Structure 1
Amino acid sequence: MATLDIKVPDIGDFADVAVIELMVKVGDTIKVDQSLLTVESDKASMEIPSSNAGVVTALLVKLGDKVKEGSPIVTLEVSGAVASEAVTAPAAPSVAENIVSNQPVASTNIANTAINSIASSYTGTVDMDCDVLVLGGGPGGYSAAFRAADLGLRVIVVERYATLGGVCLNVGCIPSKALLHVAAVMDEVSHMADLGVDFGAPVVNIDKLRGHKEKVIGKLTGGLAAMAKMRKVTTVRGYGNFVGANHLEVEETSGASQEKTGGKKIIGFKKAIIAAGSQAVRLPFMPEDPRV
């Protein structure tokens, strides 16, 4: 028997992320890609999988500890038999299949007829296929995709933006919070004069401020991309349109404004998760009012 320390893999430009959940304990027998713990940054939470199969002999971190790429997290007792079992007999897919098989099935003839009609509506060629297709790469979409991949399923995420994270990470919450933090610091400093320390009037450099915001966005989205790569989650960029019960047509996009390139792909899937988010609309019965 040999021992092996499992370390935090490349998780992007993250350092000192907090351990918020331990998913194994000493004595557990784990398999390749089984989740060991969950870490959390300012916004995203990520599960760290094991790169090897074996028996846990020691936990090298505890709740609240800060870890980064290369930090040892558990010690495994490994052997050829255990490693072989992890490769040749993965249990995760069967768990996922059991979850799917336990879902309620439509019992009426009307529902079955409608499903069969939709399923037969596409008979063309397929460019890619997967077990689970996730439409939308925001916080809900990428979390679902990562979990499905952890269960051993082949996953494809369709996202119109160039990076994962959706509106929240790319143009919404995170950019706003980055700028609000700067404003809060400026306000706090302005009150230091009452304590006898005067920093003078602030000078705002818009280009540097914008660069700070983009750096924060890049750090978080880069971490998500690394986690997707580590889990072998495929990302396809574009707008998705269902053309059958088990087929999605993707109109490919490029650039910062999600311009359509004219290219199209057909993705076949067994199950789909719709995590497309929402969009603000004007209610038709409301009067025109610039305040609304």
Structure 2
Amino acid sequence: MVVGDASLDIDTLVIGAGPGGYVAAIRAAQLGQSVLCVEKEHVGGVCLNVGCIPSKALISASHQYDAVSHAEAIGITAGDVNVDWNKIQEFKGGVVKKLTGGVASLLKANKVQYFAGEVMFINENEARVFNDQEAPRYRFKNCIIATGSRPIELKAFPFGGRIVSSTGALSLPEIPKSLAVIGGGYIGVELSQMYSKFGTKVTIIEGLDSILAGFDKDMSQLVAKKLKAKGAEIITNAQAKSAEQTDKDVTVTYTVDGKEQSVTADYLLVTVGRRPNTDGELGLDLINVKMTDRGLVEVNDEGRTSIPHIFAIGDIVPGPALAHKAMYEGRVAAEVIAGQPSKVDYKCMPAVCFSDPECASVGLTEKEAKEKGYNVKVGKFPFAANGRALSLNAAEGFVKLVADKDSGLVLGAHIAGIEASNMISELGLAIEMGATLEDIALTIHAHPTLGEITLDAAEVALGHPIHTFVK
């Protein structure tokens, strides 16, 4: 092991190579900084390895299986359709390997030094990076902390055996016949729906009065309806209390309206949020970085912590734990370090749930817009009246636009339906650029496309729709 007392000099130390960290490292290098990026686990972080990417690979496979299994509606009889879980897992692994390999290549191409190991702060300007073979000491001018988060583990439901986190749920040895899920947020819903499409009997135990509580109520109701159609049971206003597992199954005890009930399943998935990785040997407390009582790092609109040359981004700072948020913050931090006038602005931060139908939102909800004092106008148009949606046999869903009635300014957008995750970007750009309903209505959208639903929603809000009738 090489330790030594001499410190190596670096412009910017980036701690973590997840979406936020690797983007920050590459952008900093592009702006002329000498950069060291340190990652304790895998290049790409949680998102690429055990989160966003592998889950979407499995979700895609489940969609295709479900579509082929029920293709009679469009005149296709497929016969017996079988699932090879091992091959699906291989497909998932191949996608992950390709993307993580790509990130590693990008770091190298941008001349970012990479170190596989951990970091421990010595003081505000020095840190030790270490693994089993070496432990060099670095002196840095600036640092960007992007250590991400991990699933919250509840004391009554410790991970292990047949109680799994979202990470474990992506690599179960087989497709379970039954699955109990604590938590009806976007992670719980995505994985529940994926398994239900493969034939798993799913039971969701949610403490609030609906699943996907952060989304428009009409959107969450559509998803709940689709889940129930696949045989899933959704138990709301429920409090999970305990679990007992054997080598074959796990029994969850919960209460609803004070009455104790239970459900037995092959596995229990616990998805109740994520905890920031700000503890451990990193030593943020030793250099007195200010934190919230939830373990989040306090930052300003440039990403600076209480120590001005140390920045923090991603899941360890306040706000939603989203990969694209971390990427955005990583770019901002790198640019601020380079002396550019960059600041974070979350007005157009999209949120997406890869459910069925997909749900996507950006900007203000109708309720939020009213609370801010806007004279609100809403335009809503259904997928069922769109030619492309019908030809895809995907008529469920809608586009809902929230605008200021006086100026026509678009304030928010909410989409439930096929390809909602892709459609939301147009509306994020519209809000970012200060577009009005008329701007959207006057933008020629190709026919037949799902994008036309956005145009039609704008025309509904303006009071002169072509493809629907309003009294």
Return the TM-score normalized by structure 2: 0.32
Higher strand share: 1
- TM-score by length of structure 1 reads 0.50
If asked which structure has higher relative contact order (CA below 8 Å, sep 6+), I would say 1
